[in-house]
């Protein structure tokens, strides 16, 4: 096949129903898994390998040839070989001229090489059209069939027609291609499989740290203090009582921490009188992980709801109820219903239920399948307005729960406040400052700043002119 015919073959649209042959270089794990999936989807597959011996592992309908011979049979060649072996492709440059080369490789470390593997391949074979794809899909998932149609395949490349051909294959395999632009995006795509929950690290470490702190705090006040001063062994509190104290506290604090960076951002913008200056790095990072903080808060709130539902089933709860009834019987006196207490208890439960409902609503709207179906205004309405309402409800739930008891000296063991009092500090601070920020005179100025107004326009002439994200 001459050079021109291979060029035409690479970019000619497929008008018949028959799929075009795809060549895969490398009969390793990924090459075999992808070849198997392609054969299932109707693509004739030819392997280019160092050894043309057919093994049992190779899909039975596939052909195995030498690299040069296999490459001539297809317009698209998938390079299922590690980057360190790419040099063997240089002598094949003429055969590969005009062909679409799909780089699927990954590295062992983030930013392992100065340029991405796909860019390296494009430098080695300037006459070919390199497209990056499939690197975020595992051989195991391809083989076991655990891929579903929502599984995204990131695709990038400088040649639009070549990229479209690869995206068509992705679709034919039942996957969803996501066009990430030119080959410059390859480095980012190659880093994806190496990242370990990048947006979750800070929220998870923060939650673990705070949970450990509050758990120990409760152990000291509810178990050790009671043991020393009242000679009561309440060590079983570790199983349900203390977790049911820590979970709501964590849920409330983390929910407040979702809205606190927005407050800081607003204060910084008001102080600077412009939005055209970067926020400090710590604030940028904090704002980027608000969704994760919110989801962890929702998990704690859900645990609190479950722990609360099982409370009446506990031996301790029935013992305490029985004790109350027996003491009334012994004293031959029925305690009258305390209407104030009844109101307080029903109100805090109602506030908790409403707060939890709004919390769940926030969690649902943060799911990509839901958030993709609402416009920006609707999303902001739910996440900002209903989010603040959820924070108000949950803060009120805690305040009403504590009621007058927060003011009683018995709530302060060893002069330490109860954790519910500690949990109110951040949410109350957020709500008070937010209340100040929505005063018309302040809100008007903030809105002007977010629409581009500047008190001191010198910032707009500054070096990089980066626009801060407007804080929710």
- Which range, of 10-18, 135-143, 235-243, 388-396, touches ligand NAP by CB under 6 A? 135-143
Counting Cα atoms < 13 Å in the Cβ hemisphere of 424 gives 17
265: its two tokens: 């951002």
User: Using CB under 6 A, which of 7, 21, 52, 82 touches ligand NAP?
Assistant: 82
User: Cα–Cα distance between 370 and 383 in angstroms, integer?
Assistant: 13
CB of 26 to ligand NAP, least distance (A): 4
CB of 461 to ligand NAP, least distance (A): 46
Angle subtended by helix axes 290-310 and 201-218, to nearest 10: 40
Site membership for ligand NAP, residue 113 (CB under 6 A): no
CB of 269 to ligand NAP, least distance (A): 43
User: Using CB under 6 A, which of 18, 61, 88, 444 touches ligand NAP?
Assistant: 88
**Longest pairwise C-alpha distance within the chain:** 107
107 or 366: CB nearest ligand NAP: 107
195 neighbors 111 (Cβ within 8 angstroms)? no
CB of 72 to ligand NAP, least distance (A): 17
User: Using CB under 6 A, which of 11, 39, 54, 139 touches ligand NAP?
Assistant: 139
49 or 72: CB nearest ligand NAP: 49
User: Cα–Cα distance between 52 and 67 in angstroms, integer?
Assistant: 9
User: Using CB under 6 A, which of 46, 76, 81, 175 touches ligand NAP?
Assistant: 81
- Which range, of 21-29, 125-133, 198-206, 441-449, touches ligand NAP by CB under 6 A? 21-29
Backbone phi, then psi, for 65, in 5-degree steps?
-130, 180
Q: Is 314 exposed, middle or buried (0-12, 13-18, 19+ CB in 10 A)?
A: middle
Site membership for ligand NAP, residue 68 (CB under 6 A): no
30 or 356: CB nearest ligand NAP: 30
CB of 66 to ligand NAP, least distance (A): 10
User: Using CB under 6 A, which of 112, 138, 288, 470 touches ligand NAP?
Assistant: 138
Contacts of residues 381-384 at CB distance under 8 Å and 24 or more positions apart, as own/partner, are 383/472, 384/472
Site membership for ligand NAP, residue 269 (CB under 6 A): no
Backbone phi, then psi, for 175, in 5-degree steps?
-110, 170
Site membership for ligand NAP, residue 27 (CB under 6 A): yes
User: Using CB under 6 A, which of 23, 30, 170, 300 touches ligand NAP?
Assistant: 30
User: Using CB under 6 A, which of 116, 128, 135, 468 touches ligand NAP?
Assistant: 135
Q: Which residue is nearest to ligand NAP (CB)?
A: 28
Q: Is 289 exposed, middle or buried (0-12, 13-18, 19+ CB in 10 A)?
A: buried
- Which range, of 23-31, 196-204, 207-215, 305-313, touches ligand NAP by CB under 6 A? 23-31
185 or 251: CB nearest ligand NAP: 185
Q: Which residues have a Cβ under 8 Å from the Cβ of 60 and sit 6 or more positions away?
A: none
CB of 54 to ligand NAP, least distance (A): 11
Q: Which residues have a Cβ under 8 Å from the Cβ of 211 and sit 6 or more positions away?
A: 246, 250
Residue (of 171, 253, 266, 178) closest to 423 by Cα position: 253
Residue (of 24, 65, 57, 61) closest to 42 by Cα position: 61
User: Cα–Cα distance between 301 and 251 in angstroms, integer?
Assistant: 5
- Which range, of 78-86, 171-179, 246-254, 261-269, touches ligand NAP by CB under 6 A? 78-86
143 or 288: CB nearest ligand NAP: 143
CB of 141 to ligand NAP, least distance (A): 8
126: its two tokens: 């300037």
Q: Residue 345, Cβ neighbours under 10 Å: how many?
A: 14
CB of 105 to ligand NAP, least distance (A): 3
29 or 164: CB nearest ligand NAP: 29
- Give the 3-state secondary structure of residue 374: coil
- Give the 3-state secondary structure of residue 149: coil
4 or 90: CB nearest ligand NAP: 90
29 or 158: CB nearest ligand NAP: 29
| Binding residues for ligand NAP restricted to 46-65, rule: CB under 6 A | 49-51
Residue (of 255, 243, 198) closest to 216 by Cα position: 243
User: Using CB under 6 A, which of 9, 22, 31, 77 touches ligand NAP?
Assistant: 31
- Give the 3-state secondary structure of residue 264: helix
CB of 63 to ligand NAP, least distance (A): 13
User: Cα–Cα distance between 297 and 122 in angstroms, integer?
Assistant: 46
Interface with ligand NAP by CB under 6 A: which residues? 26-31, 49-51, 80-82, 85, 88, 104-106, 135, 138-139
């Amino acid at each position: 096949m001459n050079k021109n015919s291979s060029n035409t073959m690479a970019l000619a649209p497929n008008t018949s129903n028959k799929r075009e042959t795809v060549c895969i270089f490398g009969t390793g794990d990924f090459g075999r898994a992808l070849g198997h999936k392609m054969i299932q989807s109707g693509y004739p597959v030819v392997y280019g390998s160092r050894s043309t011996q057919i093994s049992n592992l190779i899909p039975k309908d596939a052909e195995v040839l030498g690299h040069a011979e296999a490459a001539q049979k297809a317009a698209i060649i998938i390079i299922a070989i590690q980057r360190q072996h790419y040099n063997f492709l240089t002598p094949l440059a003429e055969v590969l001229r005009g062909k679409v080369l799909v780089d699927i490789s990954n590295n062992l470390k983030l930013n392992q090489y100065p340029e991405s593997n796909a860019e390296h391949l494009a430098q080695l074979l300037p006459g070919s059209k390199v497209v990056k794809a499939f690197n975020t899909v595992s051989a195991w998932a391809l083989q076991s069939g655990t891929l579903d149609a929502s599984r995204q395949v990131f695709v990038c490349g400088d040649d639009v027609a070549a990229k479209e051909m690869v995206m068509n294959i992705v679709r034919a395999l039942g996957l969803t291609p996501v066009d990430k632009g030119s080959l410059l995006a390859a480095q980012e795509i190659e880093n994806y499989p190496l990242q370990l929950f990048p947006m979750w690290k800070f929220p998870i470490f923060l939650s673990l740290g705070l949970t450990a702190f509050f758990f120990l705090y409760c152990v000291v006040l509810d178990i050790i203090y009671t043991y020393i001063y009242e000679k009561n062994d309440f060590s079983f509190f570790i199983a349900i009582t203390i977790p049911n104290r820590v979970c709501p506290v964590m849920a409330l604090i983390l929910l407040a921490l979702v809205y606190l960076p927005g407050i800081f951002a607003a204060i910084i913008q008001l102080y600077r009188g412009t939005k055209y200056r970067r926020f400090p790095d710590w604030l940028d990072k904090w704002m980027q992980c608000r969704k994760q903080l919110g989801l962890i808060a929702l998990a704690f709130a859900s645990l609190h709801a479950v722990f609360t539902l099982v409370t009446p089933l506990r031996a301790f709860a029935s013992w305490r109820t029985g004790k109350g009834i027996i003491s009334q019987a012994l004293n031959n006196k029925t305690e009258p219903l305390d209407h104030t207490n009844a109101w307080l208890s029903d109100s805090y439960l109602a506030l908790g239920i409403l707060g939890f409902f709004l919390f769940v609503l926030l969690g649902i709207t943060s799911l990509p399948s839901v958030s993709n179906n609402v416009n920006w205004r609707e999303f902001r309405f739910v996440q900002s307005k209903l989010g603040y309402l959820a924070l108000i409800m949950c803060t009120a739930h805690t305040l009403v729960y504590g009621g007058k008891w927060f003011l009683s000296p018995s709530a302060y063991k060893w002069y330490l406040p109860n954790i519910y009092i500690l949990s109110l500090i951040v949410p109350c601070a957020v709500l008070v400052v937010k209340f100040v920020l929505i005063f018309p005179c302040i809100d008007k100025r903030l809105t002007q700043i977010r629409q581009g107004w500047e008190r001191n326009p010198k910032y707009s002439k500054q070096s990089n002119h980066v626009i801060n994200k407007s804080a929710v």
